[in-house]
Chain A
């Protein structure tokens, strides 16, 4: 065994450097290193500058809008008619439309996503999981415009047929319900995949500890794995929610273009994203007040999703359990 005092002596004597320091004639040797470093750095700041650019355009244009419309009216008004003769600039109908469809989507995606995550992480045999996970993730690869027409041309007729059987319920061709259901299916893989990752990272030793106390598989899943993975699961929920809030095509195609201040899922509504599409695709001349509305709406949307993402980061950091 080495005596500690010997190693101390060794450490005290500085070893002579065997490497030459880069001298004047050696810049050629270091040039490629520097070029690569610079290129990599440039690539990484492109996305940062893009973000800065987008945010400053949003803020600049929205500021012009707010010179003409008071922020108070914008945030509290319940009528949104900037394209009509009598103009009202209350964003609340668009906000309720967005909340209605995204909360509706979460009602579909949360239970299905969490249950399939539990199945994949705790119950499925390896072979089943290896087959099922890629199939589930195919859902995420379907273009959202396809989902939109699936909602409008397939889900809505079914819902309308069902509603015909029930008195007092009538579902319009464009409605929030159909868009919510299909959007829920769209974000399902995100919820289940992220939740499953969180659950699988719970150490095996915890599961064994619970089994050794006579727990059934269900008890191990619900009392040990889910609580231990909770921060990851909550983060998955929040991220999926912010994805649903920002989702555009499904709601544009299937939910309508009628800014209704309502939480009724059976009537046409308009979300913030759908409104932006409507104006930017329409004949609204650029530079007008009508056109500037989309920047104000876009800024609001950005603030909401940014807030959700920050919240999810906070949840993960605050509630994460650290294991050895």
Chain B
């Protein structure tokens, strides 16, 4: 698709929960320093696909995967790969803000601490919170509980927390679905800003959001009963203006899903 070396690529990715195949044959390349959106109707396995990229699905006992997920050319699912190592490099932001019941500072410092960070921790925390565009709101209350923040602030704190381990990729699983429109706008602006330094993959059920923020869009939808397939993947403008597949067109024009 492009000349640059993709940061994450999948090859014939099939995902199973127990005997049920939920994702069938996804092959896609994601470019660095771009925002890639994964859209599709509810239950189309968007989040499942996203969670393959940092091995979060490993926590589900019945999960099984065939095919490859390559990060910088290295297969994440090769034997001997430590999932915790992967997660230092590929951070994640969740659907609902999930700050730890600790202080604002300790939330951001959590990742560096478990990774044995030696250096200027307060500086790193400040830098991470600044990058998440939250510094001015919390600089005088770093010792207060993170649970005292508003939902939108909590989500930006979770982004700061993810940035503090200096990942190269940030996965976002419907990061705005629990937020009000103003907080959503703030997060979207932040994503555009962050995409200069990081590669971002975002799952969203909100097509306008995908159109607003992303560079590339992947459309996933269930075929038949449960198994989802990647229907179309390309530049966001092309997907939203001249989709090649009629199912994509039907979805983005709101005829189903």
Q: Which residue of B lies closest to A212 (CB)?
A: B92
User: Is B67 close to A, CB under 8 A?
Assistant: no
Whether A214 contacts B98 in the complex (CB less than 8 A), given A208-B59, A223-B110, A321-B147, comes out as no
A5 CB-CB contact with B under 8 Å: no
Q: How many residues of A contact B (CB 8 A)?
A: 24
Which of B9-17, B157-165, B203-211 is found at the contact surface with chain A?
Answer: B157-165
User: Are the CB atoms of A208 and B88 closer together than 8 Å?
Assistant: no
Known: A205-B98, A208-B98, A321-B101. A213 touches B114 (CB 8 A): yes
**Nearest CB of B to A180, in Å:** 35
Given A205-B94, A209-B158, also A214-B115 (CB < 8 A): yes
Which B residues are CB-close (under 8 A) to A228? 100-101
Instruction: Confirm or deny: A215 has a beta carbon within 8 angstroms of a beta carbon on chain B.
Output: yes
Chain B residues near A323: list those with CB within 8 A.
Answer: 101
Contact at B85–A214, with CB atoms within 8 Å? Answer: yes
Minimum CB–CB distance for B223 against chain A, Å: 29
A215 touches B114 (CB 8 A): yes
- B interface residues, how many (CB within 8 angstroms): 27
- Which of chain B's residues has its CB closest to A219's CB? B114
**Chain A CB within 10 A, most for which of B54, B101, B147:** B101
Say how far B94's CB is from chain A's closest CB, in angstroms.
6
A324 within 8 A of B: yes
Collect the chain A residues with CB atoms within 8 Å of residue B92's CB.
208, 212
- Determine the residue in chain B with the shortest Cβ distance to A217: B84
In the complex, residue of chain B having the shortest beta-carbon distance to the beta carbon of A215:
B114
Q: Let me know if A213 and B87 touch, CB within 8 A.
A: yes
Select the residue from B111, B113, B114, B147 with max chain A CB neighbours within 10 A. Answer: B114
Instruction: Confirm or deny: B61 has a beta carbon within 8 angstroms of a beta carbon on chain A.
Output: yes
- Min CB distance A217 to B, Å, is 9
Give Cα A287 to B94, complex, Å. 70
Cα separation A209 to B115 with both chains bound (whole Å): 14
Residue numbers in A under 8 Å from B102 (CB-CB): 227
Residue of B nearest to A322 (CB): B147
Contacts of A203 in B (CB 8 A): 98
Interface residue from A207, A209, A216, A322 paired with B84 (Cβ < 8 Å): A216
Report if B192 contacts A (CB, 8 A): no
Q: Does A126 contact B (CB under 8 A)?
A: yes
Instruction: Give the docked Cα–Cα distance between A243 and B88 (Å).
Output: 45
Cα separation A321 to B101 with both chains bound (whole Å)? 7
Give Cα distance in the complex from A227 to B147, angstroms: 15
Cα separation A205 to B56 with both chains bound (whole Å): 12
Considering the chains assembled together, what is the distance between the CA atoms of A214 and B110 in angstroms? Answer: 10
**Distance between Cα atoms of A224 and B102 in the complex (Å):** 9
- Inter-chain contacts of B247 with A (CB < 8 A): none
CB contacts (< 8 Å) of B147 on chain A: these are 321-322
Residues of A within 8 A of B64 (CB): none
Give the top 9 A-B pairs by smallest Cβ distance, nearest first: A213-B111, A212-B92, A205-B98, A214-B88, A321-B101, A214-B87, A209-B98, A214-B84, A215-B114
A residues lining the B interface (CB < 8 Å): 125-126, 203, 205-216, 219, 223-224, 227-228, 321-324
Residues of B that sit less than 8 Å from A by CB: 54, 56, 59, 61, 84-85, 87-88, 91-92, 94, 96, 98-102, 110-111, 113-115, 147, 158, 161-162, 165
User: Would you give 15 A-B contacts (Cβ < 8 Å), ordered by A?
Assistant: A126-B61, A203-B98, A205-B94, A208-B56, A209-B94, A209-B158, A212-B162, A213-B91, A213-B111, A213-B115, A214-B114, A216-B84, A216-B114, A223-B110, A223-B114
